[in-house]
Structure 1
Amino acid sequence: MLMTVSYRGADPGDLGYLLHKHPDRVHDFDLAVGQAHVFYPELDEHSCTAALLLEVDPIELVRSKRFRGDAGTLGHYVNDRPYASGSMLAVALGSVFRTAMTGRSDARPELAASPLDLRIGLHAVPLRGGADLPRRLFEPLGWRLEESTGLLDDRFPEWGASPYASITLRGSLRLGEALRQLYVLLPVLDDAKHYWVADAEVDKLLRAGEGWLPQHPERELISRRYLVHQREYVAAATARLAELDQDAGTLTEPGGEAEDATVAEAARPLNRLRADAVLAALDDVGARSVADVGCGPGALLSRLAADPRYTRIIGTDVSPAALETAARRLDLSERSDAQRDRITLHPSSVTYQDDRIAGLDAIVLMEVVEHIEPERLDAVARSVFGLAKPAAVVLTTPNAEYNARYPSLAAGAFRHPDHRFEWTRAELAAWAGGVADRYGYRVEFRAVGDPDPVLGPPTQLALFRVEVAA
């Protein structure tokens, strides 16, 4: 297995400082997966190339209990594991370039923290998942990708195309981030690992994916494949990535919304502005008992819990994994009995009656309705406004008109692949007005985020209050 990293810059030899491997030497490493060698086939005034070569002993691989092959079958002995650039190359990369992956370089700190002109070569890369999978994985990260494939065997063209490719990546990224992306995506392309996956793999995925994975459009596929489709681990990773996505508030919002550059540069990102607007609305109605319906990993709940004015806080979600993340975020296991009585979490769907949230001061639906099929919105209105009947409802949802401000969003596309619809301001007003009339509420509308003079704000908020009889 061979991987090359090339750098073009004013002093190309600085790549040696960044990788912590001197260009004048061949560096050898004995690893659990085989023997790794780092050497520099190219170094001149224009470019420097470092190569990582991993040699795997096929016989030792078969003997190893860590090998997850088809024991007892011929496939246990005849397979592509010693040659395909997958999890073994990723493990070697993580071992040999561990310090470089952290982005630390005492000799060249400014260079380590800066985007570099990089070219990465990968060979014998498995294409399990379609020929377009490498582009779906790498292009959203800023890489330009070239692939070279051929026949499986030139002597037998009837066998068809090879399921392996040579891939060249070109881009301007920080070296540490580029290495961490490869560490994750090599086994994802292969859709296999050579060792048993345990819960520690979730932490590895999150560490290596810091700064890029929470906002990746294929993060769910990446999580599934990296964690070898182990449901428990995938659910935990999905919930934690959603939490990181929500906290990032830059390229992707809690519901997956891509922010405009002007919003991203604001003092507070849109997800913070949205939560601030919800809290302001709760304050305006004097709420003390609140349910965050569709609470996700608990970002709003944590802010409610920090305010002693809220004496009863309920979080509900259809995802048990999200609720587990919220519980960890709220540190419920370490709270006193009184605090645990004050804050409760339980699984529930907004489309069904839930008497546990009935009669509260307020219910929050923050970026929830757009994830529901339009034909089920009447059920949402009935369960929230008709049956739970809180004194107030605070609802936020994207403003579809503002999508024109997102240059990366195609015309007519939604901000998140799970959105079933996105309303214009007029469409929200029509739906909210009808619900208010039907269930005895009055509604007002507020802008969230910096509004465009024509398109309006990025997020729209509807505040419903029960009509008081004269």
Structure 2
Amino acid sequence: MQLAIKASGEGAKALSFLLAKNPQNLYDRTEKGYRVRLTYTVFAATEVEVVLFVTPDPVELVKNSPDAFKITQYINDREFVVSSLFCSYVRSALGTALNGRTLEEYLPWVNHPFKLNLCFGPLASDMSDSVVRRLFEPLAYDVNIEYGQTGYQFKLKDKSSARFLNLQGEVTLQNALKHLYVLIPALDNYKHYFMDEREIEKLQRYGEGWLAEHPLNEVIIKRSLRFRELIDKVPPELKSKTSEYFNSDTIYETLAQGSNESVESLQEQEQEPQREEQNPEISWKPEEPQINDAKPVVTLNEQRYQAIVKIIERLPSKETIVDFGAGEGKLSVRLGNIPQVQEILAVEPTEKLLLRAIKRFAQASLQDGYVSPIPLWGSFYYYDERMRNKDVMILGEVIEHIDEYRLPRVMETIFGSYQPKTLIMTTPNVEYNRIYEMQEEVRHKDHRFEWTRAEFAQWSNKWASQYYYMVDIDGIGLEVEGVGHPTQIAIFTRQVGLEK
């Protein structure tokens, strides 16, 4: 992680006094397993550049960490990208300049606007480049975004969100650091520590004089505070003075997904149905009897859940079920109400989602006669004897999150080792994306691929033939002629006596 600050023009050397760092000395500290270094790469009368460089100790990252045994821990990038973690080091190393404290003789330079070039990264953000620009351009910065060059051969790297930001503008050093201290955590949407009302105090202190006037004020506050109980406590002086502060998440979610719509047009749409789980799939109105001339809106996620439940209800054998990739347990929790079901294993590799699922299961288990799902921490890549020979296994919107070249090995585990009597698999239909007028190749940033109907049928028939299953292929959602359904579904039935 690094931040480079370059000042150009007369008086550039004053940057060192504001930073309270001697250009002849190397600032080198170790903080909580991170090495923080600051050095001057250029120090001339009209140009000064200082670089703050932070590197984690890979051993300290996992030593005594509560996430040390988490399946996804090894692919976590938070400790290697500019985030709230990095901001804590900016504050410790650059705190003098951030707070505008310096020797009395240099106080006039605190309010002196320098020609600054700020470069920081790598930044991993779910915001599109257009939204990133809309965060900084209102603060009078010219924004240039650069993506790193990699030698990887597989396609996933083409969709990487990691990038470097270059900001150019005439601004005081203190204000520049305040902008970064507020906006970097908002870009990353990640906090590495317990959050309380002190977060609001930070926004008040470092957002004073600019945050309330920012066009994306609501987005910044929501991503900075994250929790409704904190957001509701935001004082009026921090809220936008140009528009009514809203209660829904429409603007926040849409901008986070990279929409180019204006804040005003989004505010007009606040009463529209929300997308579930930040999924860019459109909500469709089903052909059902109207009540008071209004049709209920059912999201595609909801239609998937309903379709899977109906399929299972019609199966002759459904006593034991495995929901692979159960996430927050939204589908698993419904399965407990199906007659004849006796056991439900909700398998999820992400600890955070599994904890949410456990809470949902506990609430549902208060019902009489309800079969509460059993949460299991697991992954396709780790064989688990408990999943063998179940009546039903569900892979709902899961396979597209796996690298395509790994699928044969995963399917060997599913069909060859676990051998469920019925396997229900759903995945997006990439042909349908043009109906959504999407610019992206896939519907979610974590999708490794999305198949056409022909590709899905080819793979499904191949697996069915290889592992002695019959397969029926259908669709879920509103069908469009020549395109098909937004979701593809395959139902595999094991041919008893023929399997390996």
The TM-score normalised by the length of structure 1 is: 0.53
* Partner of residue 301 from structure 1, selected from 332, 346, 359: 332
1:351 aligns with 2:369: no
Structure 1 residues 464 and 331, CA gap change in structure 2 (3 angstroms)? same
Structure 2, unaligned runs of 5 or more: 1-86, 102-115, 143-166, 174-178, 200-222, 232-247, 259-270, 287-294
- 1:436/1:146 Cα in 2 relative to 1: closer, same or farther (>3 Å)? same
CA distance in 2, matches of 1:353, 1:196: 32
**Aligned residue number for residue 188 of structure 1:** 185
Distance 1:408 1:263, change over 3 A: farther
Distance verdict in 2 for CA 1:326–1:199, change over 3 Å: farther
1:258 and 2:280 correspond: yes
Structure 2 CA distance for aligned equivalents of residues 258 and 398 of structure 1: 11
Distance 1:458 1:331 in 2: 33
Is residue 2:471 matched to residue 1:446?
no
User: How much has 1:351 moved relative to structure 2?
Assistant: 3.5
Please say if residues 127 and 164 of structure 1, whose CA atoms lie closer than 8 Å, have aligned partners that are also in contact.
no
Aligned position for 1:283: 313
Whole-Å Cα distance in 2 between the matches of residues 467 and 313 of structure 1? 23
Q: 1:422 aligns with which of 426, 434, 450?
A: 450
Q: How does 1:173-322 map to 2 (within 5 A)?
A: 186=183, 188=185, 197-200=193-196, 204-207=225-228, 208=231, 210-213=249-252, 217=256, 252=275, 254=277, 257-260=279-282, 267-286=297-316, 287-307=318-338, 309-322=340-353
Alignment equivalent of 1:463, drawn from 491, 494, 500: 491
Q: SS of the counterpart of 1:139?
A: helix
SS in 2 for 1:325: helix
Residues 2-401 of structure 1: matches in 2 within 5 Å?
Answer: 75-76=94-95, 78-81=96-99, 136=128, 139=131, 146=138, 148-149=140-141, 161-162=168-169, 186=183, 188=185, 197-200=193-196, 204-207=225-228, 208=231, 210-213=249-252, 217=256, 252=275, 254=277, 257-260=279-282, 267-286=297-316, 287-307=318-338, 309-331=340-362, 342-401=372-431
Of 458, 465, 486, the residue aligned with 1:437 is 465
Across the aligned residues of Structure 1 and Structure 2, the Cα RMSD in angstroms comes to: 4.8
Aligned residue in 1 for 2:14: none
SS in 2 for 1:445: strand
2:408 and 2:469 map into 1 onto residues whose CA distance is 16
Residues 374 and 421 of structure 1 are in contact (CA less than 8 Å); yes or no, is this contact kept in structure 2? yes
- Cα 1:420–1:74 shift into 2, 3 Å: closer
**1:281 is aligned with what amino acid?**
I
Displacement of 1:334 after TM fit?
A: 7.5
Shift of 1:192: 12
Counterparts in 2 of 1:140 and 1:162: CA distance versus 1, 3 Å = closer
Contact residue 215 and residue 252 of structure 1 kept, 8 A: no
- Structure 1 CA distance for aligned equivalents of residues 458 and 445 of structure 2: 24
Hey, what's the Cα distance between the residues in 1 that align with 2:367 and 2:276?
33
Name the SS for the 1:328 alignment partner: helix
2:331 counterpart SS class: helix
Q: Is the 8 A contact 2:325 2:346 kept in 1?
A: yes
- For the 8 Å contact 1:395–1:463, the answer to whether it is kept is yes
Instruction: Provide structure 1 residue ranges, at least 5 long, that are not aligned to the other structure.
Output: 1-66, 84-123, 151-159, 167-181, 220-247
Change over 3 Å in CA distance of 1:81–1:329 after alignment to 2: farther
C-alpha distance in structure 1 between counterparts of 2:304 and 2:457, whole Å: 18
| Conserved 8 A contact 1:367-1:396 | yes
Report if the CA contact (8 A) 2:426-2:489 is conserved: yes
Q: Return the offset for 1:257.
A: 4.0
Distance (Å, rounded) in 2 between the aligned partners of 1:81 and 1:430: 62
CA deviation profile, 1:359-396 (whole Å, cap 9, x unmatched): 11100000000000111111121111111111100000
Q: Distance in 2 between matches of 1:312 and 1:296?
A: 18
Q: TM-score, normalised by structure 2?
A: 0.50
Deviation of the 1:311 alpha carbon: 1.4
Q: Distance in 2 between matches of 1:401 and 1:274?
A: 18
**Post-superposition offset of 1:349:** 1.1
Letter in 2 for 1:267: V
CA 1:437–1:372: 2 relative to 1, 3 Å: same
Instruction: Report the CA distance between 1:143 and its aligned residue.
Output: 9.0
SS in structure 1 at match of 2:226: helix
Deviation per CA, 1:190-229: give whole Å up to 9, x if none.
Answer: 9899x9952547994132484455566469xxxxxxxxxx
Could you tell me the percent identity over the aligned residues?
Answer: 25
1:293 partner letter: F
Q: How far, CA to CA, are the matches of 2:128 and 2:452 in structure 1? A: 30
**Alpha-carbon distance in structure 2 between the residues aligned to 1:134 and 1:358:** 37
* DSSP 3-state at the match of 1:299: coil
Counterpart-to-counterpart distance in 2, 1:203 and 1:332: 30
The aligned amino acid for 1:450 is L
2:356 maps to a residue whose letter is T
How far off is 1:358 after superposition?
A: 1.1
SS at match of 1:435: helix
